[in-house]
Structure 1
Amino acid sequence: MKRILPLIFFSLLFFSCRNSNGFFKMEGRLLHMNQGELYLYSPDGVIEGLDTIKVEAGRFAFQIPCEKEGTLVVVFPNFSTQPIFTEPGEEVNVKADASHLREIEVKGTEANELMSDFRKQVASVSPPEERKFAEQFVKDHPESIVSRYIVNRYFILNSTPDYKLALNLIKEMQTAQPDNWELERMKRQLRTMKNATVGLNLPQFTVKTLGGKTITGNELRRNHMVIINVWASWDYNSLEMQRTLNEAARKGYATVLGISIDASPKDVRRLLKADDIIFENVCDGQMLDGKLLQTLGLTTMPDNIVVKNGKITERRVTANTIRQRINNL
């Protein structure tokens, strides 16, 4: 019996360690936020949909099964977002002041500490300088998952994207990460996005909305102002944009078309009804592989294009910008 007990102990210890290796854990402390909720989503499939973290007494903890490195995006109550990079079997500690979230610090893994250092570097510089620092970061760290996030954030998912520079940086990352399929996906995404380059005419398409109406690109080009918005029920920022665009449609500021990347058209109809959305929406259940998204070069989320008199004039306009324009009517 004495020999058996140590064997049982070490067996339990072994399986416990194996189990912890399949998880990623995040703990943190927020100054100036005693209670509340944070929202989480993942642009690369670490979690599905939108998740919630409870903040109590300024502290929070979150743990998920994790089989690969990836990105979680934390949405704070002021709608600002910050990335957290996951790794199997790792744990990170988050320290932040809710009134100065640009200075959030995440320790515990190399990727998160690199991102924390980058945040400090760009905390007080101008937007053009910030982009220069972002470009240099990717060149200095082409092997890092952080570089993938930074290319998306500064050169693709930006109101003034630089697709040529983004493609060059992705090629540098592929040299350091030749087996990374996500980088190849980003390259394909960039090629499709050229369909919605500012200055081009809105492409022709025909689509049937959830309300049963048929809409064409030719029809939309005849409107003075059109906004096409990509959204999902699990993405807080895109939902905010949907509700802002609903006000824009009510006040006659623009003709709006929403494209949901949710998998269930039935669930989307329910949400549209709950939010009293008055403009037409499309959901084919194909998520980001939908034909309309490919035609319009809208392969990310959230995303939008603004069309004036048939030509694409802006991309990724924020909800705050739309609200300001409505108020100035």
Structure 2
Amino acid sequence: MEQILLQVRDGLIGVEEAGLLLQQRENDAGRESRGRSAADLGFAQLDLEREKRTGSPEVIFGEGKTAGQVVAIFKRLMEHSDRVLATRIDGDKAQLLLEAVPEADYNEAARTVLWRRFGNSGAAADHEQLRQVDANYSAPTAGEVPELDRVRAAGEVPELDRVRTAGEVPELDVRGAGAAAIQGGYIAIVCAGTSDLPVAEEAAVTAEYMGCRVERIYDVGVAGIHRLFAKLELIRGADAIVVAAGMEGALASVMGGLVSRPIVAVPTSIGYGANFAGVAPLLSMLNACSPGIAVVNIDNGFGAGYYASLISRGR
């Protein structure tokens, strides 16, 4: 720009020509920026700036793609992010993908492949470390830390005993590499029956990929509702709750009358004929009498885990 202005000053070009040159520079800069924001693989245009816009990188949906396409997309995304998630990956595609990216982790139940630049320990391992630190903690007794005794005696910090709780004082948390994004709370992933577990696991893996801690509560459907009551305290403590249920999908409505947290309901395609491949629980959840329930598409564990993560991260 400076060169163009100097040329105008020296009378080498006119104002109109200078304007055209500046417009061309702006157009060229825009094209360069757009080139950096997407990667053209021919069969796919990868959105490289999605994490900057939304907080999460582009996720690969594996169904309908060849193994070669999944591998190519996965490896290109690895160049631009510290985490890559692929969903709906069957065993054959997973085998080829793991040969190309051996450090990735395949969850057979969820049909997901997850890679992290700093290892696949994820939120669960980081929070397990926090629980171990908390379990091994013992408050100093009188005389061990004279300064602390004076503070306690003076009553200057009445809630000092609560400080050790993970998440209450972020500066005091002991966390592993890459754990800065891990949230202090957790998401409860609840499924009605073991047959619903693949959808629930997809939600769980997605939430962990998003940096959230997950508590899994499985096989607590309404046919044996006492199993749910036994886990109710854990569920009520969550920031958000994902409920995956097939058959008639009653668990989401029941849950809505028992908790004060947001519920993300996932109808699954598990059930007999009149289940209509998940349409019956979908309609049941949409018509739930209990408030506080949002419903995603049939078998959409990814969408449920993602949405619950946004709720948890926003708290």
| TM-score, normalising length: structure 2 | 0.34
Q: Whose Rg is larger?
A: 2
Higher relative contact order by CA 8 Å / sep ≥ 6: 1 or 2?
A: 1
More strand per residue: 1
